[in-house]
Chain A
Amino acid sequence: MDAKNSERVSGSEALLRALIREGVDTVFGYPGGAIMPVYDALMDHTDEINHILVRHEQGATHAAEGYARASGKPGVCMVTGGPGATNTLTGIADAMLDSTPIVVIAGQIANELIGTDAFQEVDFTCVTQPISKWSYQISSPDEISRVVARAFFVATSGRPGPVVLTITKNAQTGMTCYRPEKVTYIRSYDDDPEIDITRIREAAAAINAAKRPFVLAGQGIELGGAQDEFRKFVEKGELPFGCTLLGLSVMPTAHPLNKGMLGMHGNYCNNVKTNECDVLIAVGMRFDDRVTGNLATYARQAKVIHLDIDPSEIGKNVPADIPVLGNCRKSLAMLTERLVHMDRSEWIDSFGKYQEEEYRRVIDRELHPSEGPLNMGEVVSAVSSAAGDNAILVTDVGQNQMMAARYFRFGQKRSIITSGGMGTMGFAIPAGIGAAFARPDRTICVFMGDGGLQMTVQEFGTIMEHQVPVKMILLNNSYLGNVRQWQQLFYNRRYAFTHLENPDFQVLSSAYGIPSRRVIERSGLKDAVEEMLSTDGPFFLEVCVAEEGNVMPMTPPGHPIDNMLMEC
């Protein structure tokens, strides 16, 4: 052990050394009273840790999420106690539902004040336990090395997720003998379940015997780093597949077996074929209700094979005839080995009819209108075409999200960052910031609506300060568009409080020194997109789109998944 690592240091110093040891080079944070000793120590480590000062703690968590999703490394954020800590709750819950590895470090008042309702006291460990993978309060500097190592192990192993460390003032200011530690396993936690070879054999036999197999590709493939294994699996078996929202970039959009998105606003062929297939193979996905629609009519005819690393997902929503517990990187490879190549061209071709119908009734109209205001889909398509394969798509939540998911084209893995499970409005701008720090080599295209933008607009300040090169595209329809669409379809067009009286967003972005353009006419779109992509640093592109544009097709909530509306 080198001398530096055995000297007595403050808990704050120990914390920073432990973070650096875990490979942390970027921290999104916001200082405050209960975390000041750590921030003070951080001043001595600015060459090793790049601290990004956000403008609201929620932004720090989403930025950490964006960083994690783009890089595959855990995202880290640091906040003070009390309100600083509670402001991170939305991001923690978001990371929990989307299996995003982040570590949230929150300050806490001094040990002797805990339990006295002292200034900014919140029992943050207790509050975050139900919405995090692990939450722990550090009360002594001697715990820091071990607990930080454990936190990173927990966040990134098995099914990843958010970890919350609350650190009391005493732990930050007390002295300790820092010794680096490493956690490689926790006896109460099966992070890499052993794959049952019998199940692999059963699953391979079922797939080999299948006439009409269909694969559901989920984010587990990205999280498990199993993109290559997945490609070999579907190509060897000639297995057509659809992707969940978070799984959209596991394979290139253009791959012939990739049939697009699943679910409520997914591609029609996928939802029809889900209810026609004889074997349904779910990989690293969790049968969310937005994917399945009415469970009572979901894939009842199919033998279901479910590959997942989390035992609590297997059989939760859809009973698995053949559960394959384990890391899909391993299980897919084991399955592929046992697949026999089959000619399934007739089955694959049968998707075409439904793709054509969707193209004719929905896609062509969305992308190639001859007149009228701009459509959301054509804006997404224009940006995607111009940005190319190197782009990462970040979305907010709502119509902008669904349109982006439907019409953005992916060429590389880890290219979609969106709030899937929580549906957190305001996610896009901070998540885009995080993605830009993680992948400066890629173009970060951040789509948002006029509602979500205003939920975290303060992060324009972060973008300004660091000149974060995010390409922000506002699809402005002056409505909370997704809710309005539901009001139109299911509430008799009673638009209860969904119209937004908006500020001049260009004036707003100019206040932050962010270059911008506003597009109203179709003829101006291409040039504006080019200008955005050729401008160094951040850019804000406002596109005024049809006020009452709808995301189609759509399976009404609670309906059979293949019961899709093509127009309304």
Chain B
Amino acid sequence: MMEDNTLYTIIVHSENISGILNQVAAVFTRLQVNIESLNVSASSMKNVHKFTITCKTSARNMDKILKQINKKMDVINASCYTDEEIFQSEIAMFKISTDEFKNSEDTSRLLRGYNTHIVEVTPEFLVVELAGSGDAIDSLYRELDNIGCVRQFVRSGKVAVTSSPLEKVSELLAKREARYGNRK
């Protein structure tokens, strides 16, 4: 049965412990939902890790995914966001054959047009970097691939920060501390 298939961006904050990635990912496995991209890094809070995950699924599955992730003992919070609610970015690296770059005016026009950043140039290859939206990266990759000059390609997966002035996770932690901190 095909249900609606929306691209969701999920932000998860968890304790920084081994095995937490596995636990978060297992929620997607249980529902047979493919993760489109995943990025994990330290956050602005001490010992708190931040995941940015994208996946395509139905609203019903998304609700289950969030509740199941939130249920994991060491997950502080998981929420999903629409594009309007976040600032997002992604970085991609292209390794391009120098010969083909030299022989094609289109390649250099594209690299300039997309505002790429040159990381390294050698007689055999050059490495360029593009930071921006996923759509821009898709588009540049398609165009370079059509020319046939891409030797390697990698992208970081989306990273996002929320556009709300409220820092939800810090507030949540403060609230929990206030509610439970004085327990005997």
Contact = CB atoms under 8 A, between A and B. Distances in A.
Interface string A121-144: 000011001100110000000000
A540 B19 CA distance: 47
B26 A130 contact: yes
Given A184-B184, A188-B14, A129 B70 contact: no
Contacts of A311: 67, 70
Given A130-B30, A134-B73, A187-B177, A316 B64 contact: yes
Among A134, A191, A194, A312, the most chain B Cβ lie within 10 Å of the Cβ of: A312
Contacts of A185: 176, 180-181, 183
Contacts of B180: 184-185, 191-192
Nearest to A190: B176
Interface residues of chain A: helix, strand, loop or mixed (majority): loop
Interface string A186-208: 11111110100000000000000
Contact of B73 (A184, A186, A192, A315): A186
B64 A188 contact: no
Contacts of B104: none
A295 B184 CA distance: 43
B15 A188 contact: yes
A311 B68 CA distance: 9
A478 B13 CA distance: 54
Nearest to B67: A312
B102 interface: no
Contact of A126 (B19, B70, B173, B176): B19
B183 A129 contact: no
Given A129-B23, A315-B63, A188 B73 contact: yes
A154 interface: yes
Nearest to B14: A188
Contact of B76 (A130, A187, A192, A310): A187
B117 interface: no
A192 B177 CA distance: 13
B73 A133 contact: yes
Contact of B75 (A154, A188, A191, A312): A188
Nearest to B23: A129
Interface size class of A (residues with CB under 8 A): 20 to 34
A187 B19 contact: no
A487 B114 CA distance: 66
A187 to B, nearest CB: 5
Contacts of B73: 133-134, 154, 186, 188-189
Contacts of B176: 185, 187, 190
B74 interface: yes
Residue from the set B15, B73, B76, B177 with the largest chain A CB neighbour count within 10 Å? B73
B179 interface: yes
Contacts of A315: 63
Interface residue SS majority, chain B: helix
Given A133-B73, A194-B179, A125 B26 contact: no
A187 B173 contact: yes
Nearest to B69: A312
Nearest to A193: B179
Nearest to B71: A312
Nearest to A133: B73
A184 B26 contact: no
Contact of A312 (B26, B70, B173, B177): B70
Contacts of B71: 310, 312
Contacts of B75: 188
A129 B177 contact: no
Nearest to B77: A188
A496 B180 CA distance: 56
A214 B179 CA distance: 34
B22 interface: yes
A394 to B, nearest CB: 29
B30 A184 contact: no
Interface string A299-317: 0000000000011100110
Contacts of A134: 73
Contacts of A312: 64, 67-68, 70-71
B22 A129 contact: yes
A241 B169 CA distance: 40
Nearest to A186: B73
Contacts of B70: 311-312
Contacts of B184: 184
Interface string B1-43: 0000000000000110001001100100010000000000000
Contacts of B30: 130
Contacts of B179: 192, 194
A289 to B, nearest CB: 15
A559 B93 CA distance: 55
Nearest to B76: A188
* Highest count of chain A CB atoms <10 Å: which of B70, B71, B75, B177: B71
Interface string B124-138: 000000000000000
A312 B19 CA distance: 22
B15 A129 contact: no
Nearest to A194: B179
Interface string B61-93: 001100110110111100000000000000000
Most buried by B among A125, A188, A311: A188
Contacts of A184: 180, 183-184
A129 B30 CA distance: 12
Interface of B: 14-15, 19, 22-23, 26, 30, 63-64, 67-68, 70-71, 73-76, 173, 176-177, 179-181, 183-184
Interchain residue pairs A-B with the least CB separation, the first 6: A185-B180, A312-B67, A184-B183, A134-B73, A188-B76, A130-B26
21 contacts: A129-B22, A129-B23, A130-B30, A133-B73, A184-B183, A185-B180, A185-B183, A187-B177, A188-B14, A188-B73, A188-B74, A188-B75, A189-B73, A191-B180, A192-B180, A310-B71, A311-B70, A312-B64, A312-B68, A315-B63, A316-B64
Interface of A: 125-126, 129-130, 133-134, 154, 184-192, 194, 310-312, 315-316
